[in-house]
Amino acid sequence: MCPETGARAGVVQTPHGAIETPMFMPVGTLGTVKAVAPRTLRAEVGAQIILGNTYHLYLRPGREVLRAAGGLHPFMRWDGPILTDSGGFQVFSLAGLRTLSEEGVTFRSHLDGSAHTFTPESVVDTQRDIGSDIMMVLDECPPATVDEAYARTSNARTVRWAHRAFAHLRSTAGPGGEGHYGHAQALFPIVQGAVYPDLRRESARALVDLDADGYAIGGLSVGEAPEVMYETVALTTPELPADRPRYLMGVGTPIDLIENTARGIDLFDCVMPTRNARTATLFTTEGQMNVRNAKWKADFSPLDPGLGAYHAQFSKSYLRHLTIADEPLFMEIASVVNLAFYVGLMKDARRAILEGRFPAWRREWAERVRRRL
């Protein structure tokens, strides 16, 4: 652990392999990281774990298909660890299409309008069918603008749901905690409380009683200023067990990853690398760039020789040609480059922590980000 900050380097053991932290998890919402094959994720991006989404996988291909396939690992041919979000964020984003109660949440599919219900217990069951190594409890993720009274009510319900989810898991798991496919599945509760410090502390303390294998922090990067996010993380992590992994959900920019690593976060995920790839915005070790810009038209230098990935060695001119011509290959190259940058950033952070130079490394990157990214 860094003696000047809260940054830590650890190892999370899962049935499908170890995860060296801090680590960024590529988002594979529907059982696929957009435009990137699992072999490429492992060999070139350097991903140790990926994330799937319970809401989307529940709707398609559906629990029956996943169960028949033996779970998501063989279905998508990924042999590494998988973490699944509970789908709560997606459900609560369906404004006007969902109804909340103490029992759970009833919602209408964004695909066909069909009605469905998620409860703390059914969300665990769905993730058992998926077979993920790390599961999330059902929670409510209110917007940053919610008032304190609602945040308190919402947070109390999320805590009750977490206790129900753990009770259900423990009553249905095998003698060694096994799920359907013979391996144990960890379940993380999610700290909520919006941007209210007292609620965040209350939430964390109530969830620590569950003695979970790890803890998630949700409800951030939903509209609040970055400084508020950092302050909220800084006051939450000391409330969580020091010997368990901490996962900050849905965050964020490169500087967000660095700053929250400094505050004791171990796992991150965000759609930004692949989403930005779709708009031709690339993250490189030399800075952020939009490869559609005309100045790259005859620039035959490698996109990012400092990254090391095969896909980063194509020329800027060639990548501009691909995106202007709307060639599908561009999405593969751009996605791999952005993901390799994010995963590499966290590997560099880990190395800096282990070598005792994290504070200097953090300052260097902060300055680089301010100048270019």
pLDDT digits (tens, 9 = 90+) for 155-214: 999 999 999 999 999 999 887 778 899 999 999 999 999 999 999 999 999 999 999 999
Assess whether 153 and 202 both reside in one domain: yes
d(CA 122, CA 138): 9
226: helix, strand or coil:
helix
User: Residues 170, 97: one domain?
Assistant: yes
- Residue 372, pLDDT score: 64
Q: Are 36 and 339 in contact (CB under 8 A)?
A: yes
Residue 139 counted as domain residue: yes
Number of domains in the chain: 2
Nearest Cα to 15, choosing from 207, 248, 180, 151? 180
Domain presence at residue 69: yes
Q: Which one from 85, 129, 133, 256 is the annotated catalytic residue? A: 85
Judge if 304 and 216 occupy the same domain.
no
Determine, yes or no, domain membership for 2. Answer: no
Do 253 and 272 meet the contact criterion of CB atoms below 8 Å apart?
yes
| Residue 150 and residue 245 share a domain | yes
Catalytic annotation present for 269: yes
5, part of any domain: no
Domain range for 343 is: 277-371
Instruction: State the number of CA atoms in the 13 A half-sphere of 330 facing the CB.
Output: 22
Residues 245 and 214 in one domain: yes
Given a cut of 60, whether residue 373 has pLDDT beyond it is no
> How far is Cα 96 from Cα 99, in angstroms, rounded to an integer?
8
pLDDT at 98: 86
User: Do 105 and 77 sit in the same domain of this protein?
Assistant: yes
Query: Do 259 and 311 sit in the same domain of this protein?
Result: no
**pLDDT value, residue 371:** 66
pLDDT band for position 322 (50/70/90)?
A: very high
Confirm whether 3 is domain-assigned.
no
Q: What is the pLDDT of residues 127-158, one digit of tens each?
A: 999 999 999 999 998 888 899 999 999 999 99
Same domain? 189 vs 283: no
Q: Is the model's pLDDT at 96 over the cut of 80?
A: no
Write the DSSP string, 93-108.
Answer: T-TTSEEE-SS-EEEE
Q: What is the CATH number of the domain that holds 105?
A: 3.20.20.105
Domain ends where: 241, 270, 299?
A: 270
Q: Residues 187, 239: one domain? A: yes
* Percentage of the chain exceeding pLDDT 70: 99
112, 269, 304, 348: the catalytic one is 269
- Is 256 designated active site? no
pLDDT at 118 over 70: yes
Question: Taken in order 88, 92, 98, 100, is the CA torsion positive or negative?
Answer: positive
pLDDT score, position 246: 98
Terminal Cα-to-Cα distance of the chain (whole angstroms): 27
Mean model confidence pLDDT for the chain: 95
| Domain match, 60 and 16 both | yes
Q: Is residue 160 part of a domain?
A: yes
pLDDT bucket at 296, cuts 50 / 70 / 90 = very high
DSSP codes of every residue in 45-81: I--S-EEEEHHHHHHTT-HHHHHHHTSHHHHHT--S-
> Does a structural domain hold residue 117?
yes
pLDDT tens digits along 23-80? 999 999 999 999 999 999 999 999 999 999 999 999 999 999 999 999 999 999 999 9
Final residue of a domain: which of 270, 302, 336? 270
Per the domain annotation, does 1 fall within a domain?
no
